[in-house]
Amino acid sequence: MATAAAVSVRNLLRDAALLLLFVALGLASLSLVVRVAGGSPPVVARALAEGAFGSAYNLSETLVQTAPLLLTGLAVTLAFRCRLFNIGAEGQLLMGAVAAAWAGTRLAPAAVLHLPLALLAGAAAGAAWAGIAALLKIYRGVQEVLSTLLLNFVALQMVAWMVRGPLQEAARDFPQSDTIAVPARLVLLLPATRLHAGVLLALFLVAAVWFYLRWTAGGFALRAVGAGPEAAEAAGISPARTQAIAFLLSGALSGLAGAIQISGVTYLLSDNYSAGYGYTAIAVALLANLSPLGVVPSALFFGALTAGSSAIQRLAGVSSVLVLVLQAVTLFSLMGYVWARGRRGPHPPAPSPQLGERGRKNRRYESVSPLPRCGRGAGGEGNSGQRAGN
């Protein structure tokens, strides 16, 4: 027991030292970039903090920027956990915004139903857009990286067409829609700010996605397919069906993010609508280590960078584009840490006098496998166990 505890402490200290090393390298790189840009690192840091958290209004703007990143970050996390590289959160967000703008300007249901209808329309549109990539992957074998990325550009052109055609404002003066009806708007949480109830909805969905992945059969199937489709199929799980569900859920979350932006922030759809939340979501998910709960601080971090970018230019005299460099350095530092950790190999298991060399190998396998090892009898592995291990 003492030996196992010592091994665990040693592994923890090794990982902590490695993480601190890459954090230090990232900070040194940022300081160098700021110096080259003609700024002072302490001044830039203070300006960024002031712009993101310096007042109640600044804090509210940080939370407004965080809300779509929460939902799109969750969407990417959900897909990546199923080994689906969904790069299309941006396009799904745009289609959700289109659907919400259509529901908010063209439909006239009872006032109490208008907001739920707009949000559901956005989620359904995002799911349908992701469903195209799901069908292409399942029935034609098209890689989702290509299909979702290309669908982003199709969605972008779809928005441009909609705001110049079917959804253009009645006056026909600008490429934008009419403002949505008041009942289709989210409630503001603080007066004189843009902080809306969509932030609370996004936090609720973080908890819901965590619960789904951790405690439901569907979440187990999703994680199992992500860990190994062949082993999952051997255990009776359909990889195609599970991947289709993951695609639809991921698209629905991204589409809902677009609907929340329409119902809570802009109140209309315009050309060049998105601020790139769907692409930033990939960094959010990776920084969170594909953990639904980890998406919260990760999205808050990137939301604070976005909200504080204007203060950097105003207070520190440095271009706000520096924030994009900061995001890139953060992501590269994380990737470097993961790479270096992988190069050192997996943590060795704690020694046990009851386990031989074969037992240690099996114990390592069982510690990372999301599935029970099936078909093991007294004489060794059965057919299903061999299939899961191949």
Q: What is the mean pLDDT of each run of 10 residues along the chain (390 residues)?
A: 66 75 80 79 83 88 94 95 92 95 91 94 96 93 92 94 91 90 93 92 95 93 90 89 94 96 93 84 90 93 86 75 80 77 58 44 39 37 39
Q: Which of 89, 84, 59, 92 is nearest to 74 (CA)?
A: 89
| Integer Cα distance of 2 and 8 in angstroms | 10
Give per-residue pLDDT as tens, 349-386: 444 444 444 444 444 433 333 333 333 333 333 343 33
Helices 239-261 & 56-81 angle (0-180, nearest 10): 160
Sign, CA torsion 317/331/94/210: negative
Sign, CA torsion 202/208/213/214: positive
Find out whether 288 and 73 touch, Cβ atoms under 8 Å. yes
Q: Which CA distances in Å does 377 have to 145, 237, 291, 366, 369?
A: 41, 22, 35, 16, 19
Report the 10 Å Cβ neighbour count for 225: 27
Q: Which two tokens stand for residue 45?
A: 């840091």
Q: Which of 74, 122, 126 is nearest to 269 (CA)?
A: 122
pLDDT of residue 390: 38
The b-or-e profile of 35-69 (16+ CB within 10 A means b, else e) is eeeebebeebbbbbebbbebeeebbbbbbbbbbbb
| Integer Cα distance of 35 and 364 in angstroms | 47
Task: Read off the amino acid at residue 176.
Answer: Q
Give per-residue pLDDT as tens, 313-329: 777 777 777 788 888 88
Phi, psi dihedral angles at 188 (to 5 degrees): -85, 135
| Integer Cα distance of 48 and 302 in angstroms | 12
pLDDT of residue 346: 54
Give per-residue pLDDT as tens, 78-93: 999 999 999 999 999 9
Largest CA distance in the chain: 81
Task: List the chain domain ranges.
Answer: 56-308, 356-390
Q: 């959010």: which residue's tokens?
A: 284
Task: Read off the amino acid at residue 37.
Answer: A
pLDDT of residue 336: 79
Q: Does domain 56-308 bear CATH number 1.10.3470?
A: yes
pLDDT of residue 4: 66
pLDDT of residue 164: 92
| Contact partners, residue 55, CB within 8 Å, separation at least 6 | none
| Contact partners, residue 108, CB within 8 Å, separation at least 6 | 114, 181
What is the torsion angle, in degrees rounded to the nearest 10, for the CA atoms of residue 21, residue 27, residue 29 and residue 32? -140
Report the 10 Å Cβ neighbour count for 238: 14
pTM of this prediction?
0.81
pLDDT of residue 358: 44
Is residue 241 helix, strand or coil? helix
Is residue 15 helix, strand or coil? helix
